[in-house]
Structures are given as C-alpha cells and as structure tokens.
Amino acid sequence: MKVLKFGGTSVGSAQNINRVISIVEELSSNHQIICVVSAVGGITDQLQQTGQLAQLGDTSYLDILADIEKKHFQLLDELIPVNSYQVKTALEEKLKHLKSLLSGIYLINELSPKTLDKLLSFGEQLSSFIISETLIVRNLDASLKNTQDLILTDENFIKAHVFIRESNENITNYFRSSKHKITILPGFVARSHNGNSTTLGRGGSDYTAALVAAALKSKELEIWTDVSGMYTANPKLVKQAYPIEQINYQEAMELSHFGAKVLYPPSIQPVLELKIPIVIKNTLQPQDKGTYISSNAYQSGQSATGISNIDNIALLTLQGSGMVGIPGFSKRLFEQLALDKINVILITQASSEHSICIAIDQTDIAKAESGINHMFSYEIEQKKLNPVLVENDLAIIALVGSNMKHLQGMSGKMFGALGRNNINIVAIAQGSSEINISAVIDQKDVKKGLNTLHERFFEGNHKQVNLFIAGVGNVGEKLIAQIRQQRKYLKEKLKLNLRIIGVSNSRKMYFNSDGIDPKTWKEGLQNGENASLEGFYDRAVELNLRNSVFVDVTASAAVAQQYEHYLKESIAVVACNKIACSAALENYQKLKNYSLKYNAPFLFETNVGAGLPIIDTLQNLISSGDKIVSIQAVLSGSLNFVFNNFTNETKFHDIVKQAQEQGFTEPDPRIDLSGVDVARKILILARESGLAMNLKDIKNNSFLTDKNNASDTVDDFYRTLLEDEQHFQSLYASAKAKQQQLKYVATLTENEASVGLQEIPVGHPFYNLKGSDNIVMFYTARYPEQPLIVKGAGAGADVTASGLFADIIRIGNN
Ligand code: ADP
Ligand code: ASP
Ligand code: MG
C-alpha cells in the first residue's frame, strides 16, 4: 500500500491532473493506492476571499465565486469531455451549496471560524470529486471517500487538533474493508464530534496524508508537489538552490517550521514515530529523484543542510528592571500568549534577564500587545516594566543542519556574511539542539539574506558579483566586452559569477535582475527607460542584491556625488572618474570613512596610470610599514604623446589636435595641457600617502602662455596655440640644444607636490618613455636609492577598462 498526496499545483489544471493519473495508474499496478488531494491551486485563497467579502456585504464575492465555478466546470469538461448528466449535476449541486453558504454569510454579515472552515472545506471536496470521477470514467478501480468521515478533531476551527486514536481506528477500519485499488481522499478537511466541518491548518493536506500513512503503517509517504524536493532554500527566491537528496526528520521539521512551505510542519510527527520515510517528488518532473526524509542522519558533507525563511514577523520586547530575578515572569508572559492563542515562533532572552524578546506572526500584533500590557499592567504602572515594544516588517531566516553542532564558528560565518552585505540583524536565536541558528532581519532583506547565506554555505566558494555600470562610452563598452570574454574563465577558475544588472548612459538606463546579456546590452539600453542618477541608485538599492558594485565610467561630477549614497548602502564603488578623489579633501575623507564604516570597497586604481597598479602598489608599501620619501612620475599619457611627437617640423597645435582625435586627451584638451589632470593624479597619490592636501596645494608650473590659459572655449584655445607656436618651438629648441627630452613631470616630497614641464637628460628613466606610457618612481625608506618603478601604457580605453576590471575582480575575491 502506498499513500500519495498531490498538492494544489499538481491538481491545478487538466494537464497536471492527467500527470497525477498516470503516476497513480502506474503505481496501482503493484500497490493499493491512497491518494490524498489538495484543492485546485489558489482555490482555498479564493474561498477565503469570497467569505471575507460576503461578510462585509460586498457583492463582488459573486465574481470570485463565478470564477471558482468556471474553473471547476472547465476542469470537468477537459478531463471528461463527454460527461454524464449525473456527474455534472453532482458538481452543480456542490457549487449550489457553496453559493447558499456564501449568501448566508452575506445576509448575516458574519464569518465565524466555524463557518470559515465549512467554506474552506469546499476546495478539497470539489477537487477530490472531479479527480475520482475522472479515474472512474477511465475504467480505473477507484472510489472517493470523504476524509471527514475518518479524521476526527476538536473544534479549534481553522487549525483543529486531531484525535489520533479515534481517527486511526476509523482509517484502519475503513481500509480493512475497502477493496478498491485506488482511493481518493480530500486532504485538509475533517469533522468534529458535533459533526461540524473543521480544517487542519493551511497546507494541511500533507498532514492528512501523514495521518493516513501512520494509521495504516504504510511503508512510505509520498508528497507530490511542484518542485523536485525539499531544496537547500526556497527555489522561488534562491535560483542556485538545489534539492536535498536526503535529510533527517529533525532537519526537515526545523526547515519546515522555519518556512519551507513544501512540507506542512505537523506532517512529520505521525510518521516520525513509526519511522515511515517521506519522499518529496515533483508531479511535473516525476523522473527527478526528489528528497528522502528518514530517521537516518545522512552526512552530506555540507556544514549546513538548508536555509529557510518566515516572512511577516513582529518582534515584541518586554523589558524593565522589574523583570530581573523575579521567578514566574516568563510563565505569566507565555500563559497570556497561550490564552490568546498566539503562536510564538522564536524567543531570545538576554542573560541579564533584563529583557525578553519574542517573534510572532504580524497578524497577531494587536492581540498580543493588548494581552501582554494587560497582564503586566501593575508592573507597567509601577514603572518596573515598559509597555511592550513592537517592531514589525521583519522576517526570520534560519540556517539548519545536524552537522552544525560538530562545527565551530558557524554563527560567526553566518553573521559575518550577513553583515558584509549590510543586512541588519535585529535578534538572534540558537536552539539548544544546535541544529538551527535563526536571525530576525528586515523583511526587505530576506531575498538578499537567503542568497548571501546560500552562497556562503552551499555554493562551494562560488561568488556572485552584481554590477551597475554608469557610462558606457568607449571605456565602458570595452569593460563589458572584457567581462563577456572572461566570464567563463572567472566562473571556472576564480569561481566568480560576474553579472551586469544595470547599465546607463546619460540618456537611457536598462536593468535586468537576472543579468544583462553582455552580447545584447546595447539593444536593451536603446529601448530602456529614461536615465536619471537617482533612478539608477534607487533601482540598485531596491534590487538589494548581494555583492553589488557601482562602476563609474563617466567623467561626471554629478555621478561622483552619488558614491556616498551607494557606500552607505554597502554597495561597493569602482571608479575611473577622478573627480571624487581629487575634489575637496573632506569629500575624499568622507568616502574613505564610509567605505570602512559600511564595509564597502571604494576602488579607483584607474584614476592614476589607467590599468597600471600604481595606487595598489602605494597602498601595499604603506600598509606593509614602508614610508614614502618622494614620488616622481610622468602621469599624463596625453602630454607624453604630445611631447613625444612634437618637433621643429611639426606644429604644436597639430599634435594636440591629433592627440585629441586619437582619444589621448580629455574631451577638453585644456584639462590635460594646463596640467590640471596631472595635478589631480599626484594629489590622489599624495592623499593615498597620507597627506591632507587639496588641489590648490599642488604647485602648477604651467608651460602654456597667458593667452592660452585665458582662452574661454576649446576653439579659442586651439587658436591661441597656433598664434603662440613660437613659444612652443622655443621650449623644444631649448631641450634639443641640451640633447634633452621634454616630459611633463609630477613630483611629491614629504610635504610638497608640483607639476610642470621638465627637460630630462639622457640616462634618466623618463628619457626613453614612449608613446602614451606612464612611469612612477617610488623612493621610500626601503627603496632609498633605486626606486620602485611602475611603468607601462598609462592611457587608452582598453587598459583603463582592464584596470576597472581588475578592481571589480579584487572585490569579488575579497
Ligand atoms: P503544494 O500545493 O504541492 O502543497 P506548496 O506550495 O504548499 O505546494 O509547497 C511547495 C512550494 O514550497 C514550492 O513551490 C516553493 O515555492 C516553496 N518552498 C519554500 N521553501 C522551500 C524549500 N526549501 N524547498 C522546496 N520548496 C520550498
Ligand atoms: N488547500 C489547502 C491550502 O491551500 C490545504 C493544502 O493545500 O494543503 O492551504
Ligand atoms: Mg503544501
């Protein structure tokens, strides 16, 4: 004999019911089958709605009722195309009863728990009727038995308690005499001694099946649902979750108690005592293995077995000096809650006994608050206790596993991972069995929290990094191309899954929370929504994805102003935009502090020397205890290009133009030629060396003429370059006469920094600097004479993109 239970989705359409029938038919060739069915998916909710509307005198309950009727008739027509008069009439009869019950509720404006149970019981009665008739029409040896004749309960409506002994007797007696190969039973429904309909609690069809399996000492209980087993986390919220092959009763109970809806928690109790295994299978994919729940602890090798969540939680805190050392305090509190029939989901108490915290379902807040305040009214009046404090919009996430009790540091890992992702932990509880660690967090953080923990405990060091890229011009486009090219390698070798979630240019922005395809992002962006800096930020916050990184590939001051907002949300910032680090010192310091405070990396390696590891080298020197004596550097790829190509046979104006056209200068070449760009770079190095400097503190020995410097527009600037050609030729001639090279040099000593054009003699490391290369010489306490030199291509879209990429990977590997 086998007991099978099919859930709401499994019986939710004719197609799925046909799947159910083939599963049952196949098994019935070797076994007697008892098949417990749920209501058609969504019907129990709809019945509840009709009841509530009717009670309020709202006639729109009739629309929902019409929909319920339509769904069931449609099922019948699809399953039994030529249905007999009797079957149709019988269905009509049941629906007529439902209608008159609702009109009763409508007329007297009352929906008591007793009536609600009667109402809800229609769902399972209707589905079981249609399924059994279908089986019979298809010539299978099937019959329908009303579970209400078998399972007896008290009158604790909505979630009635089962009288196990009597129900067992009824079940065994019935099946002793029933000779049918297949028996269909409606789940969830039962009856009291007074003959009133009762129900076993939402999701209770699982429990019905477990009761029947236990009464008949069945060898196995099969729960057929819409997922392939009990997953490591709710698969609807965690994409990477996977079915747990084997799990013991305690773990399954803990996971289901803490929200794994796939199994109704009370269902484990009846089968556990008899050691009847539960198998969870997928009706839609019956070939999948599913999950095997038994008493044998199976060592999966994982430190944890699963993670679950309960939403819509409220936390009640009772505190005050009156609590310390007074015995019976908790007793009174819990008695009151029991009296009010409030289910306590989690308890924590500080060892000082100064406060006690309990988590309850949000719908119970009003009842709990007034009950507790009433119970302790004397103590509250005497100021020994504060009125109960209520916090809502919370949720619980729980990490479960029997292996956890043998392992140290599990809670450290759990809370560390949550903390790094800015998930605020409101309360913590760990059961003494040590197979469950629970945290109360904000409701809005549930998805992120589950995914963070899943990544930490179930994905073998794989890490997902979620990118929001602002600016997809030359460099941004290259960055996306590099990500696309390296994806596979990163996944396989570094276990990093880089996903682009948002992209924006100044006109449009485009998001995909499942990851933007790096092949087709341009089309997405073209058809995207209108861009706004706030909108981009809002979306990154709203999506609330773990390991989020904002990448600034613009040169915009307005974008740079956004960094602090991102950092405050623990979203890392990677920027090639220099403005934030070279603007006011307080701003730079603030961002650095936020980065520390909110545990969000702020990386800007490409601000100096594009992809060259200059800032990283400087930071490594300092953090390893070295001291910077001086830095000498050629930091402008643009100026290097200009002076490497400028001779007495060319015009300075033409070379600058050429540099601009080839993308070696900023869009406004004055930023490069005036030395401002280099001054910003040496300023950043100065700040990274620990000096509190501003741009005005950098001495700028400009090589331009006053006329050049006074130009208002770029065109004007070019005109003055032509007019002052002689000035530039004389700079060239002077160096040439000494057989020296012109280089634009930045210098930093212990307390001074300057930038300017210098004549460099043969043999100096700067002399042979080619093209747009950069060079930085660090003279430090450890490198006093022979400097540490970093040299290489210091400009260009490709190397800048690769520098950004390196910063992103650094965050991923963190
Ligand atoms: P049924 O109607 O078949 O009883 P339920 O909706 O009650 O189905 O339970 C199955 C659902 O449980 C899944 O679709 C999934 O969304 C949810 N669920 C939550 N946590 C888990 C988990 N850890 N493993 C599997 N499913 C889960
Ligand atoms: N139909 C009921 C519900 O939706 C019982 C069940 O499906 O298990 O809660
Ligand atoms: Mg269910």
Please write the tens of the pLDDT for every residue from 40-75: 999 999 999 999 999 999 999 999 999 999 999 999
pLDDT value for 296: 81
Q: Is the dihedral of CA 309, 315, 320, 326 positive or negative?
A: negative
Tokens found for residue 184? 């269909």
DSSP secondary structure letters along 516-568: --TTTHHHHHHTSEEP-HHHHHHHHHHHT-TTEEEEE-S--HHHHTTHHHHHH
Tokens found for residue 462? 């794989």
b/e map 531-564, b = 16+ CB within 10 Å: bebeebbebbbebbbbbbbbbbbbbeeebbebbb
Mutate to test the pocket of ligand 1, among 231, 261, 308 (most ligand atoms within 8 A of CB): 261
Within-domain flag for 810:
no
Q: Is the dihedral of CA 36, 39, 44, 50 positive or negative?
A: negative
According to DSSP, the β-strands at 463-470 and 548-552 are: parallel
- Measured from the CB, is residue 290 less than 6 Å from ligand 1? no
Closest CA to 694 of 778, 777, 576, 588: 588
578 & 684 share domain: no
Identity of the residue numbered 467 = L
Q: Report the percentage of the chain scoring pLDDT > 70.
A: 98
The angle that helices 725-737 and 652-661 make with each other, rounded to 10 degrees, is 100
Look at the chain and report how many structural domains it folds into.
4
Mutate to test the pocket of ligand 1, among 43, 227, 310, 400 (most ligand atoms within 8 A of CB): 227
CA dist 544 and 445 (Å) reads 7
Mutate to test the pocket of ligand 1, among 11, 205, 207, 225 (most ligand atoms within 8 A of CB): 225
Q: Using DSSP, how many helices (H) and how many strands (E) does the chain show?
A: 30, 30
Atom of ligand 1 nearest to the CA of 255: 23
The string of pLDDT tens digits covering residues 517-557 is 999 999 999 999 999 999 999 999 999 999 999 999 999 99
Closest CA to 534 of 559, 507, 499: 559
Atom of ligand 2 nearest to the CA of 39: 1
467 & 423 share domain: no
Q: How far is CA 426 from the centre of its chain?
A: 18
CA dist 663 and 674 (Å) reads 17
- Residue 739's pLDDT band, with cuts at 50, 70 and 90, is very high
Nearby residues of 697 by Cβ (< 8 Å), 6 or more positions away: 683, 753
**Residue whose entry in the numeric block shows the structure tokens 């907002």:** 565
Out of 203-207, 427-431, 751-755, give the one with best mean pLDDT.
203-207
Tokens found for residue 664? 């070696």
pLDDT value for 485: 95
Which among 573, 591, 607 is the end of a domain?
A: 607
Within-domain flag for 69:
yes
Residues 564 and 598: beta-carbon distance below 8 Å: no
Residues 746 and 634: beta-carbon distance below 8 Å: yes
Question: What strand order describes the sheet that includes 33-37?
Answer: 142-144, 182-186, 33-37, 2-6, 221-225, 278-282, 291-294, 246-248
Residues 342 and 360: beta-carbon distance below 8 Å: yes
Within-domain flag for 150:
yes
CATH number, residue 379? 3.30.2130.10
572 & 670 share domain: no
Within-domain flag for 287:
no
- Residue 432's pLDDT band, with cuts at 50, 70 and 90, is low
Within-domain flag for 257:
no
For residue 230, how far is its CA from the centre of ligand 1 (angstroms)? 8
- Measured from the CB, is residue 261 less than 6 Å from ligand 1? yes
- Measured from the CB, is residue 123 less than 6 Å from ligand 2? yes
493 & 358 share domain: no
According to DSSP, the β-strands at 344-349 and 221-225 are: unpaired
Identity of the residue numbered 240 = Q
Residues 62 and 113: beta-carbon distance below 8 Å: no
CATH number, residue 481? 3.40.50.720
Within-domain flag for 457:
no
The string of pLDDT tens digits covering residues 341-365 is 999 999 987 666 678 999 999 999 9
pLDDT value for 403: 85
Atom of ligand 2 nearest to the CA of 7: 7
- Measured from the CB, is residue 636 less than 6 Å from ligand 1? no
Beta bridge partners of 742: 759
pLDDT value for 300: 64
For residue 116, how far is its CA from the centre of ligand 2 (angstroms)? 14
- Measured from the CB, is residue 204 less than 6 Å from ligand 2? yes
Nearby residues of 150 by Cβ (< 8 Å), 6 or more positions away: 167, 170, 171, 174, 185, 212
- Residue 298's pLDDT band, with cuts at 50, 70 and 90, is low
Identify the nearest ligand to the CA of 4 by its number. Answer: 1
SS3 278: strand
4: region left, alpha or beta (phi > 0 left; psi from -120 to 50 alpha): beta
pLDDT value for 591: 98
Within 13 Å, how many C-alpha atoms sit on residue 743's CB side? Answer: 26
Tell me the backbone φ, ψ of residue 590, rounded to 5 degrees.
Answer: -60, -45
360 & 494 share domain: no
Supply the DSSP symbol for 490: I
pLDDT value for 297: 59
56 & 111 share domain: yes
620 & 733 share domain: yes
Nearby residues of 802 by Cβ (< 8 Å), 6 or more positions away: 482, 611
Nearby residues of 86 by Cβ (< 8 Å), 6 or more positions away: none
- Residue 245's pLDDT band, with cuts at 50, 70 and 90, is very high
Identity of the residue numbered 87 = V
How many other β-carbons are positioned within 10 Å of the β-carbon of residue 766? 20
**Number of residues that this document lists for the chain:** 814
Q: Report the percentage of the chain scoring pLDDT > 90.
A: 86
Q: Average pLDDT of 134-163?
A: 97
CA dist 692 and 595 (Å) reads 18
The catalytic site residues sit at 681
467 & 429 share domain: no
Max CA separation in the chain (angstroms): 117
SS3 420: helix
The string of pLDDT tens digits covering residues 680-693 is 999 999 999 999 99
pLDDT value for 813: 85
**N-to-C CA span, the chain:** 55
CA dist 137 and 83 (Å) reads 9
Q: Is the dihedral of CA 419, 421, 427, 428 positive or negative?
A: negative
CA dist 347 and 357 (Å) reads 6
- Measured from the CB, is residue 188 less than 6 Å from ligand 2? yes
DSSP H or E run through 95:
helix 85-108
CA dist 477 and 798 (Å) reads 10
Within-domain flag for 275:
no
Q: Average pLDDT of 553-582?
A: 96
The string of pLDDT tens digits covering residues 460-519 is 878 899 999 999 998 999 999 999 999 999 999 889 999 999 999 999 999 999 999 999
CA dist 224 and 19 (Å) reads 11
- Measured from the CB, is residue 225 less than 6 Å from ligand 1? yes
Closest CA to 69 of 54, 47, 87: 47
Mutate to test the pocket of ligand 2, among 124, 205, 225 (most ligand atoms within 8 A of CB): 205
Identify the nearest ligand to the CA of 223 by its number. Answer: 1
What is the 3-state composition of the chain as percent helix, strand, coil, each rounded to the nearest 5? 45, 20, 35
Which among 607, 636, 666 is the end of a domain?
A: 607
pLDDT value for 299: 59
pLDDT value for 103: 98
pLDDT value for 459: 86
Closest CA to 313 of 229, 429, 230: 429
For residue 443, how far is its CA from the centre of ligand 3 (angstroms)? 22
For residue 527, how far is its CA from the centre of ligand 2 (angstroms)? 42
Q: Average pLDDT of 760-764?
A: 95
For residue 229, how far is its CA from the centre of ligand 1 (angstroms)? 9
CA dist 458 and 417 (Å) reads 13
428 & 497 share domain: no
Tokens found for residue 51? 């009841």
DSSP H or E run through 469:
strand 463-470
Residues 595 and 602: beta-carbon distance below 8 Å: yes
Segments in 362-436 forming alpha helices (H): 365-375, 377-381, 410-420
CATH number, residue 654? 3.30.360.10
- Residue 166's pLDDT band, with cuts at 50, 70 and 90, is very high
Identify the nearest ligand to the CA of 40 by its number. Answer: 2
- Measured from the CB, is residue 186 less than 6 Å from ligand 2? no
Tokens found for residue 544? 């609330």
534 & 628 share domain: no
Question: What strand order describes the sheet that includes 508-511?
Answer: 529-530, 508-511, 496-504, 463-470, 548-552, 572-575, 602-603
DSSP H or E run through 476:
helix 474-489
The angle that helices 365-375 and 329-339 make with each other, rounded to 10 degrees, is 140
Which among 166, 196, 218 is the end of a domain?
A: 218
Beta bridge partners of 693: none
Supply the DSSP symbol for 609: T
Residues 665 and 672: beta-carbon distance below 8 Å: yes
Beta bridge partners of 470: 504, 552
DSSP secondary structure letters along 733-800: HHHHHTT-EEEEEEEE-SS-EEEEEEEE-TTSTTTT--TTEEEEEEEESSSSSS-EEEEEE--SHHHH
**Residue whose entry in the numeric block shows the structure tokens 């890392």:** 572
pLDDT value for 657: 94
Residues 153 and 163: beta-carbon distance below 8 Å: yes
- Measured from the CB, is residue 192 less than 6 Å from ligand 2? no
Domain, as residue range, for 196: 2-218
Asked whether residue 663 carries a pLDDT value surpassing 80, the answer given is no
For residue 722, how far is its CA from the centre of ligand 3 (angstroms)? 81
- Residue 758's pLDDT band, with cuts at 50, 70 and 90, is very high
Residues 309 and 450: beta-carbon distance below 8 Å: yes
For residue 42, how far is its CA from the centre of ligand 1 (angstroms)? 14
DSSP H or E run through 307:
strand 306-319
**Residue whose entry in the numeric block shows the structure tokens 């990163």:** 490
426 & 531 share domain: no
Residues 131 and 17: beta-carbon distance below 8 Å: yes
CATH number, residue 67? 3.40.1160.10
Within-domain flag for 238:
no
Give the chain's mean pLDDT. 94
**Residue whose entry in the numeric block shows the structure tokens 């589905």:** 127
85 & 128 share domain: yes
